[in-house]
Structure 1
Amino acid sequence: MKLELDNKSIFVSLGSEIDSNRFSQISTNAKIVELHKPNDFIYFEVENISSAKKLCKKFIAEFNLGGSNWIGGRVIDEKFNFIAKVSYNGRVWDNEDWSKAKEIEL
């Protein structure tokens, strides 16, 4: 599926959260590392979905996030309308409901 954006301003969310299921099982040093990761998310303006994908992958690598930490990747327009979702593995989807989502070709 291809996606047309008609020169809209778009934004992507970047964020992480502590994996509370795993937190009680990790060492003290690993807990300190986890607590220094960003906790929550923020939206950044990007030029296009390819830029959003690159920024998400960079954020994940910078903070050494796992799939259970990653909460970002939602791409929206200036009116908060959903455009796409960048998953942890860098794939881009046209729907937030994974059972209905189709991958977007970039």
Structure 2
Amino acid sequence: MEADPDKVFKALADPGRRLLLDRLHAENGQTLGQLCERMVMTRQAVTKHLKVLEEASLVVPIRRGREKLHYLNPVPIHEIAERWIGKFDRGPLRALADLKKALEGGTDG
């Protein structure tokens, strides 16, 4: 199933949803309860955000017994990167990103 780019961009536009994706990237296959831990939003808000992420195919829920586990699906992000960044030479882009990171003294995430 191919992801709708509009839904992917909409899903990625919200910082709360990006945080949920970061949490799944760090530890894939989490329950709703696990995802709600350390979040500054209600369980209902997390549920709504997960629904948007699922509709954008960024999160795939899988039932395991009574649990519903949520898994990150990076394919829609990769497709966007290929479409919008893949047109350009990745070497210079990577060099600029590395330089920016070094100058800012930043870390990944």
| TM-score higher than 0.5 | no
- Pick the TM interval, shorter chain: under 0.3
TM-score by length of 1: 0.25
TM-score by length of 2: 0.24
RCO higher in structure (CA 8 A, sep ≥6): 1
If each structure's helix is expressed as a fraction of its own residues, which one has the higher value? 2
In our comparison, the structure showing a higher alpha carbon Rg is: 2
If each structure's strand is expressed as a fraction of its own residues, which one has the higher value? 1
